[in-house]
Amino acid sequence: MKEIKDKLRAFAEERDWDKFHTPKNLVMALSGEVGELTEIFQWLTPDESKIENLSSKQFSNIKEEIADIYLYLIRLADKLDIDLEQSALHKIKINSEKYPVELSRGNAVKYNKR
């Protein structure tokens, strides 16, 4: 992830875009990219959304949008000095406590709605 973070920094600096990469703007860009990914899936049935049922064009578009989301997320974390990997590991730990296996296995009801 460090290599990607460094490349993103250099990419922005070379173009004098760092001044535009405020946390607010990056969140807005990230949200836009999530919207573009959502648009691909919007009218698909659950079955149509499975990898084996996607066209190669749909799958290619999905990969590009996921990459855009990933890159904006890394850039946002970098600008806020957040260790994304450590934060993700910490969140997994929190979620394992919120959703204990004995209460959550096979159950899609949110922990605070039981």
Of the pLDDT bands very low, low, confident and very high (cuts 50, 70, 90), residue 104 is confident
Which of 67, 64, 78, 60 minimizes the C-alpha distance to 13?
78
- The C-alpha torsion from 75 through 79 and 84 to 88, rounded to 10°, is -100
Query: Is pLDDT above 80 for 96?
Result: yes
1-22 residue pLDDT tens: 899 999 999 999 999 999 999 9
User: What is the distance between the alpha carbons of residues 62 and 84, in angstroms, rounded to a whole number?
Assistant: 22
48-69 residue pLDDT tens: 999 999 999 999 999 999 999 9
Q: What would the DSSP string read from start to end of the chain?
A: -HHHHHHHHHHHHHTT-GGG--HHHHHHHHHHHHHHHHHHHTT--TTTTSGGGS-HHHHHHHHHHHHHHHHHHHHHHHHTT--HHHHHHHHHHHHHHHS-HHHHTT--S-GGG-
Q: What is the pLDDT at residue 111?
A: 66
The full set of domains in the chain, from first to last, is 2-82 (1.10.287.1080), 83-114 (no CATH)
Work out the burial of residue 26: count CB atoms within 10 Å of its CB; fewer than 13 is exposed, 13-18 middle, 19 or more buried: buried
Query: Is pLDDT above 70 for 114?
Result: no
